[in-house]
Amino acid sequence: MEGITQAIILAAGEGQRLKPFTGLLPKVMLPIAGNPILQYVVEALAQNGIRRIVMVVGYKKEQVQDYFSSGQGFGVEIDYVVQPQQLGTAHALRQVRDLADDRFLVLAGDNVIDANTIAPLVNAAANTMLIKTQEDVSKYGVVLVHDGLIREVVEKPAEKISNLVNTGIYAFNREVFDFLDDEVKLTSVIQRMITEGCDVFAQETDGTWLDAVYPWDILKLNNLILSRISPSLGGKLESGAVVKGPVSIGDGTIIRSNCYVVGPALIGDDCEIGPSVCIFPSTSVGNGAVISPFSIVRNAIIGNNVLIGPSSAIQDSIIAPGAIVRGRFTARSGEATTMIEGEYYQVKMGAIVGNYSELADNVIVAPGVIIGNHCRIKPTKVIGENIPDGGLVV
């Protein structure tokens, strides 16, 4: 039997728990080490010979379509289907009924995967769910397996009943459409198939599979991608600048004298770094960013066109595109309790600064604090609690 040659990528969702970043971008377009999450999915498919892709888009769909276009630039062919309301994964799949092959893969567009992750599914003959062992299963659909068959999927169980989780990646036959009806979630569809006597096979993977559910997850994904980068120098190093380990430096970037950059790290195109700036491992710097003298950045994501003022210290933090952070800014890492969508989480991280926010001189942001998009913060403020989009602190 020939391998599967078509994939359906579910890329319509907003990503409410990833605000402020998803205020201006769909979740699948969040940049990780210089590329949108969705690009890693498309590349993994292409490397497995799956070049015909149907993307289900919705929230801010134009950004997805503008970036990927016909798919030609990524070695694939992409058709787009719009899910007008983001009602769930089963509802999204229902939109592509007329375009689906007899056998096809279904993937979420918001997980970082590699080619090895999905390779075992390419030759799946029957309905199959890709599963993976996870230590912390609390935020996943946990899977009970018997004799190679899925027996039950339990969403976010209160106690640990298994360490196998549903990756949200499937090989389906067209018969899945017979079970969709008015279901919203694909896990409900799977459960219904099982109840009605349809075999759904389990295929375990030990390949890369990481999803971004909360803002701090983006740092984990960034670390993962950076751990694989190869050294490259497209820009210019001034005398006295030191670069150690796997560091990728983009075209037109200047690393000024007495800078110290330790990989893994990625610095985009047309950046100006230093002089006398230290960039430590697990840091991504977007295109057009400026990091001013005597600043220290460690395990952080600095977005496109961000300005970091002189003598700033940034650790375990994310500064979103277009933000302006003036001199002597401090975002140190620490244990913190932060609130997302009305729920509290214990995290170890620095600060999150949203798109196009502007922080004046001598601002200190406490660990775990999230500053929204388009905020303005006046000088010498200590920010100890989350600031909503458009907030002004005087």
* CATH number for position 335: 2.160.10.10
Indicate if 239 and 148 belong to the same structural domain. Answer: no
Indicate if 231 and 171 belong to the same structural domain. Answer: no
**Contact 8/81 with Cβ under 8 angstroms?**
no
Indicate if 132 and 64 belong to the same structural domain. Answer: yes
Indicate if 209 and 230 belong to the same structural domain. Answer: no
**Contact 353/329 with Cβ under 8 angstroms?**
no
- Residue ending a domain, among 161, 186, 213, is 213
Indicate if 130 and 252 belong to the same structural domain. Answer: no
Indicate if 346 and 273 belong to the same structural domain. Answer: yes
Indicate if 14 and 158 belong to the same structural domain. Answer: yes
- Residue ending a domain, among 166, 185, 213, is 213
* 220 found inside a domain: no
Q: Per-residue pLDDT for the chain (394 aa), expressed as one digit of tens each?
A: 678 999 999 999 888 889 899 888 899 999 999 899 999 999 999 999 999 999 999 999 999 999 999 999 999 999 999 998 888 899 999 999 999 999 999 999 999 999 999 999 998 878 999 999 888 777 778 888 888 888 988 887 777 788 899 999 999 999 999 988 888 889 899 999 998 988 999 999 988 998 888 888 999 999 999 999 999 999 999 999 999 999 999 999 999 999 999 999 999 999 999 999 999 999 999 999 999 999 999 999 999 999 999 999 999 999 999 999 999 999 989 999 888 878 888 999 999 999 999 999 999 999 999 999 999 999 999 999 999 999 999 9
* 96 found inside a domain: yes
Indicate if 118 and 262 belong to the same structural domain. Answer: no
* CATH number for position 123: 3.90.550.10
Indicate if 239 and 206 belong to the same structural domain. Answer: no
SS3 label, residue 175: helix
CA distance 20 to 160: 31
User: How many CB atoms neighbour CB 201 within 10 A?
Assistant: 16
Indicate if 164 and 282 belong to the same structural domain. Answer: no
* 1 found inside a domain: no
Indicate if 37 and 58 belong to the same structural domain. Answer: yes
DSSP character at residue 282 = S
- The alpha carbon of 235 is separated from its chain's Cα centroid by a whole number of angstroms, namely 27
Task: Return the structure tokens found at 136.
Answer: 């912390």
Indicate if 83 and 175 belong to the same structural domain. Answer: yes
Task: Return the structure tokens found at 145.
Answer: 């397996």
* 219 found inside a domain: no
Instruction: Residue 17: give the domain boundaries.
Output: 6-213
* 354 found inside a domain: yes
Number of domains in the chain: 2
